[in-house]
Structures are given as structure tokens and as C-alpha cells.
Structure 1
């Protein structure tokens, strides 16, 4: 093309000067600019379509076509129409030339669009979905008395000479600046051109040439920048015919994507929440791409997710972040040979402990061998966040060398600094870096910034055990408990505790001698329950037999805990017997009256073994026997106390920091001393200058 479409980027944003001068806040600019950008985009394409129709039919033949037949031809193209433009031959530029009739002509111009275009622009919007809400914007501009001036500025932007891909490029740049100014939904991230280019290169490297239509899907397509950007780049590299499918919940961005889709071959864009209302529920796709919102709650529609009958959600992650819901949905949309690239932040790699939904989703993904690679992008890559982001490369048709393996690519240093920052974006993955990353993925062998792992490398055992704490002599109070026959199995098992019958409890100035409290003992309290909650319960909670001496006196003996020996002591007539490590448990409960006893609070005291639940993180082995042997070996090496095995849960996390960690190179001591001497000399020189 002879003209560079990006010349209009600054011109479009110059319209913001008029908004600023009208006292409109910067955060509101996108809502004023989106409908007018859509307007000039639609007009340019309709006029171009109309001119192409004329050229195709011929000037003479075209002049002889009946009006209704002409409109039928236009409608058949499915790109919309505008009666005002086609009948009067006038565009927005012409309308703006006559100040006196402008408002009437502008209204006629807007009403001349087909029904769908009017809906998307919000020409007739009243209640409910307004999409681009041009009606509301016009009312505000009228109130500011700048409607004509503002429309004139947009009318000067002539997009007719440019094709779909070029207009999409401009649209991407404009929407990127919208993202800088107004992130209407928390966690939404506009995907930069260079990341879209990298995603496209990855996809293109895996596409096989065939006559089969390549169906590309984005479940959170926003304004379509990633979806259509990937399509355009694939069309440059492959002869495969493509078709795009997208869905988004944001009214304005959906409208932009929908408008764009009408000028692409058989593209389908739908409006709605993908997670609860999948508009393509019966479709599968060759390629999926998405940059779903980060850290956005799905609490508002949790019931719908939990009651979902499609089977796409194997697990439900934390309600505070729906990224892994989108991931599961996308995997469910892949056909038998499908692949995809999904952008996430780091939480999807490691959030959630073993057994959590997040860990189970990662395990399910690796178990099914759909993850081919994860690529860490540089920081400062996105326009309104500086965090690390990651590309998950999904592939249902891995090469043999990639079966049951996952590649991690640390591309955090594969970038070129921008000469001028764009919001938080200070870096871009330049073309050379993109090609290098794709070549690394294709080679699928280790290098200095990429490593290939058996998928089980990312699994780990979280082994629960119950430890029995022992005293200095290696004894537990458990040995003091009487044996009792289990009526079901006949086995002899020890009782869980020994209950004392106290006559006195002493602890840090507290003295209790009454262990059955009735209403006659609680003057000033309305009930036993009130006394229990307000007084007795806090008192018992404050008792700590390890922090302060707690002595329990019964009719036969005195019991207490010896911190030095870490053992319970039974003292009778000055003779002390060590009972082994254990706990003193004091509790109180409100009891209802019986025939023999009135309503009361009973304070009970028990001696129990000191059990402690613990968890050990142990490397995982694919073979069950080897895995159990590794767990046993770990326990023998590192656990010295008696224990019993409890549940073992297998977790999964992908930790880039652990794998690609590079320790900081520390300076030699001699170099540090030399620096100190040099700084000291510099300070003395400065002091001398001050004296002089």
C-alpha cells in the first residue's frame, strides 16, 4: 500500500483534545471514541464494498439494476448496508459540510443502517444492552455543544484505501491505548502485537497444509485483536483457508469484534459469558487462542458453573480467579488433533496446594498429555501490568519425541527494549527472538534457556503422617493407656486418653476446685451458657501447660508437665514418675439436667498422647512401587519420631524460578575493599573542597 494506515493513529487520538477541552474525564474517553471509530470503520468498508460491486457489474449494467435488487445483492454479502449512503451517495464527510442540516442528516444517516449495525452501534438503545451506545454519546456531545466538531474530526479519517488486515492493525493500536486508559474489568489485558505475532508463529509452525478449513476460536475475544491478528498472520504463512469464532461478555468490545467479523469470510462472533453460556457448545476447533482475564472472581455465577452439565469443568478452582476455568473450557473445544496457545499469569503454574482444584487441573492436563510447552515471557510486556506472563502451548497431536514430556522455555531475556515506553510496556519480543523461540520449540531439546522434562517431573507427593512426640527418654504417654478390645475386629487397641477426676487445678494464680458448676455458682450471669461463653471458655483457652505450670490434683496424685524432660509427671508423696510425652487437655461443656443432676457445666481433664499431624513433600515416581519406596526412604532419612502414614496426595506445579534460578554473582572481598577505599578517598576529597 502507498499509504501507512498508522498515520491515523495520532489523528484519532487528537480527537481526545476536544473531549479534554469539554471537561470530559480521561477515563471516559474510550466510551466516546469507540462508537465513532466503529462508525468510520463501517462506512469505509461499506463504501468500498459498494464500489467493488459497481466495478464487478459494470457502470452501465449497475445503473439499470432495480433498487430492491441492488439491496438484495448488498444484503447477500452480509456486511450490512446504509440506505442514506447508497441512495444519496453521501458519507459522514458530506453530512458535516452543512452546519444547518447536520443534526437531521446525521440522524437519517444513523437510521439508514441495517438493523444489526444499529443494534451494535446502539442507535436505538433504550434499556438493557447498549453495546457501543452511540445514542448516549451523541446526547452527551450535544449537551457539551461539540457534536458537529467532534464528528468532523472523525469524518477526516479516510479508511477506504485500506484492506481488512490493515484496518485491523489500526484498530489494534487504538484499542491498546483504550486499554491503557480504561481497564473496565479487573484483570483484562490487551494482548500486544508482538505477543500475537509469537502466538501466530507457534501455531503456523504446527499447521499442516490441507484443503480442510482451519477453524480458530477465542473464548474471550474482546474486540478481536488476538483472534483476527492470528488469522491474518496465519494467512500470510499458510495456504489453509481460515474461519474465526469468538465470544465475549463486554458489550462494547463484542460490538467491535462483531462489526469486524462481518468483513471477514464467514467469521462468527457471539455475545455472552462463555463459562455459563457457550454459544458454540456443539463445535470443536483446530486452533484455540485466548488471553482470559487474570484474577477475576466468578462468584457472581458460581451456581451456574457448579451445576454445569457439559462435563468441561473437571475441577472448580478458587472462586477468586477463573483463569483455569477458561483453560478447561478451551481444552474441551479442541478437536482430536487440535492445538492452542493460551496466555496466563503465573498463578496458573503454581497456585493451590496438592489436592486443590488448581493442582488437580494441572495434573489432569499433564495426565492427558495435552501440554506441550510453557513459555515465560519477559516482564513489562503488557500495557498495564509489569508481571511475568506465560504462554501455555496445548497440543493433542504431539510429535513422538514430545510424548509424555513438557518443555519449559525461559524467554524472559528474549526481547528488545522499546525506544519509548507504552504504558507499562517497555519491552517487545522482536522478530529475531520470536523465530528463535519457535525454533527451540520445534527442536524440542535442551539449550541454555529451555529444558525438556518427563511430565512426572512436575508431580510431587504430599505425604501426610501422624507423628508421636516422645520425651527425652524416647517415651510417649501412649504406653500408659489401657488396652481395650475392638468389638468388631477383636484387636486390642489402646484407649485414646486417660480421664482424671480432679479435686484442684492450679495455673499461674488461677485456682479451680469446683468442676461441676450449677446456676447457684454463677451470680451475675443470665444463664450457664452465658457464663460458659463469656467467662469460663476464655479462661480455659488461656491455660497452657507448656507456657506456665499447670498442676492437676486428684485424690491419689498430682499431675503436671515437665518442660525440661518434655514428659508428663505423676507425683505421689514426693515420688515422681515420668509418664512419657503427652498433653493435658482441659475442656468444659454445658450439660442438660438429668434425673440425678441439674443443669450444669462440667469441667473435664484428660491426659492424651502428643500426636502431631505433619506433611512431607517428596519427589514423585511414575512407577507405584518405586514411588512408595522413595517415600519410605525419605521417612527413614529425615523422620526420627514414631509415625503412621496417613493420606498421600499427588500435586502438580510448574516452577520456573526453581528450574532456571541463577544465583547472584557475589563480588570478591578484595574488590569490595578496593571499592570502599576508593569511596573513602572520594569523600575525603569532597570534604577538603568544602573546607577550601
Structure 2
């Protein structure tokens, strides 16, 4: 059964729920039952052996859990003699038997169903007389990994979540990222390390602070498995949405990961991996979402811990917390002396330029660029994500840059690299093909200026090229006779009094001499001006689109006039025809 027909089958369960459940509530039943059937299918082949092992260890008075894990071949087990097929053999006791079956799972799995609040749904279905019918429907489908691999299962979960999110008017994009965008990010963070990752027995760690259903972690694992089956990628993550967390944890269980590395909660206010560092990281934090709910905790960390905490460089405006995740990931980087780290994060356009010199956003950019952490930014096409059509950018950040990248930043404009989807999914109308991903990765790997069809697609800059000084230009206050007024006391005594109404600012590129700029650009126009150096601030911005703008000259005036004359002559003839 392919992924589309399987999703359609599972979705058909909604027909049973219609009337007793609102559309927005379907996911509360279908998602946990899908997870339950998946886990049930995974354990099916070792069920008898696990029960025999349990009986044997209990007779010997030995704690059975480690032995049951070994026999099950998974990082979880179930000690109940029941399974999904046996459950539907006793229609009259379906409720109590299902509870018994759930309680037979190991603690990590029971936690998953607690996050789904599955027991409440079992009670509700039982009272509505629907529990047996729903359980019977799911018992009919085979979700064993031999039939449905982990990649397919991830796609099924994503499709179901998207449908339920649309029905409840939630933002599906908060739960997962398009698979082709993840593949691009994974390729970009691993590209420099192919030699290291191909060594037998290599072990690396990867982390996603906004894990969703675990798609980024899963695709990173698939990439490494394809390149080196002997390599081991230890996955860690944190997720705020209970249902997404439950699915992510279930997926990690089946993959044999240590699910204690998948934590629940708000990453910004309650770091579930405090003090830990990772080799690689990936994240797609929410775009343009305010962080007022966690403002107290974040500001406290910023003010009390400074650079010893996560948010030392600065805080962005309250309306968009995405740059807080950028800082959070930087805090999770291994020290360069211990091998360093690389990560990819998806951001909207705002973090590139929002905020003038001295603002929180500018100070964060300043920290990233002055510490030579930014390797590249890739501009993606619009309409790539399920819940927004805006432009998005992948930042690649590293504290172990290759020698030829030190002090440099690469900008890649991939906004024209897309193909139209056969069917739109929410706001997502475009997708990256494998060829597009290969082209972007090639441009990144070659690290050179490049053009495509005469337009720049890759540009290389010095990190300092994005910096500037904002200077304050003062002009004197004059009396009615036009005489310059002088200060009468303190440091200002004998000096011209600045006129706040005439005050102005100028942005001077970091690589330019301020005084030379002032003499060239300001004094010829206002000879009485001066710079108040005490007010000078350093700022950073990355005007991405400006660096790829190609001027298209307008058509010759004679050509435009000829078109206008042709149009007016046609209109005139039409009017004359009507009057005839």
C-alpha cells in the first residue's frame, strides 16, 4: 500500500467520527491510533518471544526490562498478551482491554499516549459506541516497517497533521518543514564533512530545538545512513506541541534512538538540554511569532547571565522571536577546540535587516559576523512553506570554517530555482527538485562568484562588508540674527549648541574612514555641521536582495511614444465607429 492510499485509508476513519466529533477534533483520535498501530506492527514479530522471556525472568525473580528490550530488538516493548488484532476479538470488553494493552508498554511509550491525552479519547469513543469500530478499522492496516518504511511513515504523519491543522485553522508550518527544504539543509551542513563521516564507526550528534514531528532529525539520519551505514547519529530535540512531540518520540523509538534525548517544553524558557553541545543542528523556528509568553525568563537570562547564558549579544523586538533560536543554537555549538559545530536555520527576511545600529537585532548580527560564524545564506523561492508564502532564507552557521571561508560570507540566490507542484498544499505551491538541490549544493561547495542566465546567483563578501557606523551629524542653534549660540556651562561651555531639529544621521561603511566620508558627503552641503562622536554606533545588516538586483534599463522613449500613439489611435477609431 503506497503512502497516498494509506493516508486515505486512515483518513477514512473520520467518516466514523463525523457527528460525534467536530472536524477540528479528528486528529485527537486518528493520530494516537496511527501511532499505536505502528508500534503494534513493529513489535508483532517478537511478541511471543517477549512474553516467553517475561515469564522466564519473573520465575527467576530478575528485573525483566533489559532482557525484554534485547528480545524485542527495539528500544521499547509490550508485556500484554494482547495486540490490536486480539483486541477486536472481544467487542464487549474493548475499553478495558485497550487500557490493559496500553499499560503493557514500557514507560517511554506510555508517556507518548499521555501527551496525546489518549485515555480521554478512549473514554469518549466508548461512550459514543465508536471505540470498537475505530479499533477494528486500524487493526485492518499493516504498518510494519517491512511494508511502510520510516520515511513513508514520516510522510503519512505529516499529511495527517497538515489536514488536521487546516481543519482547526492552525498553522501546519509550525509542525513540520517541507522535506526537500530539509534535504537541502542536511546536504549543506554535512557537505564539508563527507570524508570524516565516511569513516567506519564514526559517531556524531545532531539537535533540533524546534523538532516538530522529527522530520529534520530523520532526514539527517537517512542521509548519513546512505553515505555510511556504519556511522551513528545520536539525535536530540525539543518540542512544544504535545501531539508533535508524541509523534517525534514514537518515530525516534522505532529508529532505536534514546528517547530521553527528546524533551518536551518551550526551548526558550526551559532548555531541555541545558549545558549540552552538538556536532550538527537544524531548526525551522516559527516566523514572526512574538515571544511575550517567555519574555520574563528570557530577559532574566539575558540580564543576569549575559554572555554566560544564551542571549548575551542582545534581544530582538518582542514581535519576532526567531533570532532567539539563532542565539540558542550558537550556545549549543561545541567549542572549536573540541571539533566545533555547524548548523542550518530557516529564517524569514526580517533577521537580515530589521533594526538599526544598537538595536537587539543589529547586535545579534554583529556578534555572528564579528565572530566569523556565518558561512552562507541561501535565499529560497516564495511559496515554499505550508503556512506562509513569504521569502525565506537558510543560514549556515559554523565555528569551524574551512580556511578558504574564514572572514567570508557567501550569499546564494536560489529564489528562481523551483518547480510548480502538481497540487498546492496550503500556501505551498512550489518545490525544489533534486536537480535544484544539487545545483545549490554545487554553488555552495565551489565557493565562488557565479551567474546563471546573466544574473548573479552566488556572491562572496568579507564579513565586515555588512557593518557600518551610524554617525550623528549636528548643526548649531542660531539666534534671530543668525549668530551661532554657544554653551554657557560645563563641557559645553564655549562650544556651539546643537539644534535638535536639524540633527541627522549618516551610515558610513565600516571599511571607510569616517572623517573622509564626512568631508566628502556632508560638509559640502552643510559647512557648519560636525560629528558628535559620543553618539556613534556600530551596526550590521545583510541587504540580501540588493546584492542580487540587476538593473533593467527602460525602453527607449521613442518606442514608448509609438506604443502610446498606436493605442490612442485604436481608441480613437473605436469611438468614431460608435458615433457613426
Instruction: Find the residue that maps to 1:329 and give its secondary structure.
Output: helix
CA contact (8 A) 2:176 2:213 kept: no
1:269-308 matches, cutoff 5 A? 269-308=262-301
5+ residue gaps, structure 2: 452-456
Instruction: Find the residue that maps to 2:206 and give its secondary structure.
Output: strand
- Alpha-carbon separation, structure 1, partners of 2:53 and 2:239: 40
Deviation of 1:255 (Å): 1.7
Give the corresponding residue for 2:541.
653
- Alpha-carbon separation, structure 1, partners of 2:564 and 2:89: 72
CA contact (8 A) 2:53 2:67 kept: no
Deviation of 1:466 (Å): 1.7
1:118-129 matches, cutoff 5 A? 118-122=110-114
Distance 1:683 1:227, change over 3 A: farther
CA contact (8 A) 1:186 1:293 kept: no
Give the corresponding residue for 1:331.
330
CA contact (8 A) 1:200 1:234 kept: no
Instruction: Find the residue that maps to 1:390 and give its secondary structure.
Output: strand
CA contact (8 A) 2:75 2:257 kept: no
- Alpha-carbon separation, structure 1, partners of 2:499 and 2:155: 71
Give the corresponding residue for 1:615.
505
CA contact (8 A) 1:478 1:609 kept: no
Instruction: Find the residue that maps to 1:427 and give its secondary structure.
Output: strand
Mapped pair 1:141 → 2:157: no
Mapped pair 1:151 → 2:135: yes
Deviation of 1:318 (Å): 1.5
Instruction: Find the residue that maps to 2:286 and give its secondary structure.
Output: coil
Kindly indicate which of the two structures has a greater share of residues assigned to helix.
2
Deviation of 1:226 (Å): 1.5
- Alpha-carbon separation, structure 2, partners of 1:214 and 1:636: 58
Deviation of 1:119 (Å): 2.8
Mapped pair 1:629 → 2:513: no
5+ residue gaps, structure 1: 123-130, 497-607
- Alpha-carbon separation, structure 2, partners of 1:672 and 1:236: 62
- Alpha-carbon separation, structure 2, partners of 1:44 and 1:468: 81
Distance 1:316 1:684, change over 3 A: same
Distance 1:462 1:644, change over 3 A: closer
Instruction: Find the residue that maps to 2:494 and give its secondary structure.
Output: strand
Residue by residue over 1:389-413, the C-alpha shift from the partner in whole angstroms, topping out at 9 and shown as x without a partner, is 1100012221222111111111111
Give the corresponding residue for 1:200.
186
- Alpha-carbon separation, structure 2, partners of 1:656 and 1:201: 22
Between 29-38 and 413-422, report the one with greater CA deviation.
Answer: 29-38
Between 243-252 and 91-100, report the one with greater CA deviation.
Answer: 91-100
- Alpha-carbon separation, structure 2, partners of 1:186 and 1:361: 29
Deviation of 1:181 (Å): 4.1
Give the corresponding residue for 1:455.
463
Deviation of 1:654 (Å): 1.1
Residue by residue over 1:551-596, the C-alpha shift from the partner in whole angstroms, topping out at 9 and shown as x without a partner, is xxxxxxxxxxxxxxxxxxxxxxxxxxxxxxxxxxxxxxxxxxxxxx
CA contact (8 A) 1:189 1:291 kept: no
Give the corresponding residue for 1:525.
none
- Alpha-carbon separation, structure 1, partners of 2:38 and 2:515: 64
Distance 1:637 1:242, change over 3 A: farther
Instruction: Find the residue that maps to 1:408 and give its secondary structure.
Output: strand
CA contact (8 A) 1:30 1:182 kept: no
- Alpha-carbon separation, structure 1, partners of 2:58 and 2:500: 92
Mapped pair 1:381 → 2:384: yes
CA contact (8 A) 2:95 2:123 kept: no
Mapped pair 1:80 → 2:95: no
CA contact (8 A) 2:383 2:390 kept: yes
Instruction: Find the residue that maps to 1:83 and give its secondary structure.
Output: coil
Give the corresponding residue for 2:109.
117
Between 42-51 and 287-296, report the one with greater CA deviation.
Answer: 42-51
Residue by residue over 1:617-670, the C-alpha shift from the partner in whole angstroms, topping out at 9 and shown as x without a partner, is 222217xxx354334433334544433424111111111221122446645553
Distance 1:231 1:72, change over 3 A: closer
Give the corresponding residue for 2:98.
106
CA contact (8 A) 1:469 1:611 kept: no
Between 662-671 and 371-380, report the one with greater CA deviation.
Answer: 662-671
- Alpha-carbon separation, structure 1, partners of 2:55 and 2:40: 24
Between 25-34 and 333-342, report the one with greater CA deviation.
Answer: 25-34
Give the corresponding residue for 2:559.
670
Instruction: Find the residue that maps to 2:422 and give its secondary structure.
Output: strand
- Alpha-carbon separation, structure 2, partners of 1:108 and 1:610: 76
CA contact (8 A) 1:476 1:609 kept: no
- Alpha-carbon separation, structure 1, partners of 2:349 and 2:76: 42
Instruction: Find the residue that maps to 2:224 and give its secondary structure.
Output: helix
Mapped pair 1:215 → 2:205: yes
Kindly indicate which of the two structures has a greater share of residues assigned to strand.
1
Give the corresponding residue for 2:454.
none
**When the two structures are aligned, how many residues end up with a matched partner?**
549
1:36-47 matches, cutoff 5 A? 36-47=33-44
CA contact (8 A) 1:38 1:256 kept: yes
- Alpha-carbon separation, structure 1, partners of 2:244 and 2:576: 63
- Alpha-carbon separation, structure 2, partners of 1:658 and 1:392: 17
User: Which of 478, 488, 494 in structure 1 is aligned with 2:484?
Assistant: 478
Distance 1:48 1:220, change over 3 A: farther
Give the corresponding residue for 1:348.
351
- Alpha-carbon separation, structure 2, partners of 1:181 and 1:672: 54
Max Rg structure: 1
